[in-house]
Chain A
Amino acid sequence: MLKLQELEAGYDESMVIRDIDLQVKDNQVVCIMGRNGVGKTTLLKTIMGILPPKKGKVIYMDTDITKKRPSHRAKQGIGYVPQGREIFPKLTVYENLLVGLEAGTEKKIKEDVYTYFPILKDFKKRNGGDLSGGQQQQLAIARALVANPSFLLLDEPTEGIQPNIVQEIQEVILDIKRTSQTSMILVEQDLEFVKNVADYIYVIDHGSVVYEKAVDEINDDEVYHYLSV
């Protein structure tokens, strides 16, 4: 589904990620873990195409998309839920979802996003910027889902969010995994959450992969060793 080969990327002179090889199979949920500032968000931005890599390749569905614009990648089925949600503040909730349709072929918003997040239906006409952090997170996920992506990038979807919404988001991720062929990369700090949803994990430190294993084989202590400060 997605393959990263010897990927290097960064800002100006400083390399944030160095030599990352990573692979995501069909219908697989891959979690990326690591301390703050080790390059997790930079990695997702490079996959999405916001940040051009200095070296290496991004291969998606057997085609090299390293040089393609983000809009092209979105149209190829990559959905992105960024850190900080990035909701359009002056567009209504409904309009935010409609912009999400741009990447796909659907013309209408499917009812199932409202089933996942009923609050979005109630707040349809409110401005995105007026929602709370948790509601914006739900909207950001829904906005990525309306286009029927075949690959989802989720950057810390549970960060700073109350437990019952975290629970809700977890259900949604599991449901997508069950009912569709969608693959996911999930950046996450919470090992419990990761163990509930992921199939495979990568731990990153100083911009490189330092640990990788299928989720049912991982040793908690080893992971905590890389996550603790």
Chain B
Amino acid sequence: MTQIILTLFNGLSLGSILLLIALGLAITFGLMNVINMAHGELIMIGAYVTYVMQNLFLNYAPQQYFDLYFILSIPIALLIAAGVGMILEFSLIRFLYRRPLDSLLATWGVGLMLQQLARSIFGAPNVGVQSPSFLNGGLEVGTLLFPYSRLFIIGLSIVCLVSIYYYFYRTSSGRRVRAVMQNRQMAECLGVSTRKVDLITFAIGSGFAGVAGCALTLLGAIGPTIGTNYIIDAFMVVVVGGVGALFGAVAGALGIGFFNTVFEYVTNASLGKVLIFLLIIAFLQWRPSGLVTSRSRSLD
């Protein structure tokens, strides 16, 4: 019984991590159809922002306020990653909207450049980020221990999901984004400035990559290549979930998270990974467009 609960919890925890790293990509790739290979590096930027914030607090802030660095890092990582995303969109991606292969290569190049930049600034070895004290330890229920850091990531991914949902479905700016993604030309004819919408949407997707990077510092050391470790998972979640569907990304992340944990529990880490890839390949044969597909009455 405890083993089952623990496996379920680990699955949920892994799923929430996957969701967090895939949310930004669900926007840039899922909604805008931009294959952004530099998405992992935007995650990396978020992680390094957290590292820098930690150092600033270590050096300049009184000891008792140290824990605040992490809380502050989240919005700052969001803003900085969104800013970098905005520069990327304005200087490169807007020229490549109808050329997916070119954008794949170009953004991969940008990713390599950002990695090298991180190496030049912070050095090649991984650096550690000290978790804030309130996330040390865990919640004990009977004989089970749920680490606070994992619970925090689950909570953070829910907060991110709710705020993205709120933005897209409850604000006028989000409505403009949806209109443009559904029918760009008509939105433009109705007075929506599609250029501005593209810029903002890409910035938001990038910003959430930054938040994911911030959360990843709770799980281990960070380095210049941290993004490459996660980019495959992120694309996997979006493709399995169904391109263009936010709800699909949630289902995809949780599904992959659970199956991965279960497979690893009954076999071992590497075989578990193999099994999950096999499962995804089989799944995509059955539903090539992912879990959630958007269909509507065909128009004449």
Contact = CB atoms under 8 A, between A and B. Distances in A.
A102 B191 contact: yes
B193 interface: yes
A90 B194 contact: no
A80 interface: yes
A144 B186 CA distance: 11
Nearest to A127: B296
Given A86-B183, A89-B182, A99 B297 contact: no
A136 B299 contact: yes
B190 A103 contact: yes
B187 interface: yes
A37 interface: no
A129 B297 contact: yes
A86 B186 contact: yes
Contacts of A50: 185, 188-189
Interface stretch (A68-76, A170-178, A185-193): A68-76
Contacts, number: 84
Interface stretch (B89-97, B114-122, B173-181): B173-181
B296 A99 contact: no
Given A71-B192, A71-B193, A90-B182, A133 B300 contact: yes
B182 A74 contact: no
B191 A147 contact: yes
A89 B188 contact: no
Contacts of A48: 189
Contact of B178 (A74, A86, A88): A88
A129 B300 CA distance: 11
A100 interface: yes
Interface in A61-115: 69-71, 74-75, 80, 82, 84-91, 95, 98-100, 102-104
A95 B172 CA distance: 9
Interface in B158-209: 172, 175-176, 178-179, 182-183, 185-194
B297 A130 contact: yes
A124 B236 CA distance: 36
A134 B175 CA distance: 24
B296 A103 contact: no
Nearest to B299: A84
A118 interface: no
A143 interface: yes
A75 B172 CA distance: 17
Given A98-B172, A133-B300, A88 B189 contact: no
Contact of B188 (A69, A87, A91): A69
Contacts of B296: 89-90, 127, 129-130
Contacts of A89: 182, 296-297, 299
Nearest to B298: A129
A91 B182 contact: yes
A179 to B, nearest CB: 23
Interface string B256-300: 000000000000000000000000000000000000001011011
Given A90-B296, A129-B296, A129-B299, A103 B191 contact: yes
Contacts of A98: 172, 175
Nearest to A88: B182
B186 A100 contact: no
Interface of A: 48-50, 69-71, 74-75, 80, 82, 84-91, 95, 98-100, 102-104, 127, 129-131, 133, 136, 143-144, 147, 160
5 contacts: A74-B190, A82-B189, A84-B300, A95-B178, A95-B179
Q: Which 7 A-B pairs have the closest CB atoms?
A: A129-B296, A103-B191, A74-B191, A89-B296, A102-B191, A86-B186, A70-B188
Interface of B: 172, 175-176, 178-179, 182-183, 185-194, 294, 296-297, 299-300
Given A82-B189, A86-B186, A98-B172, 10 more contacts: A71-B193, A84-B299, A88-B182, A88-B186, A95-B178, A98-B175, A99-B179, A99-B192, A129-B297, A143-B190
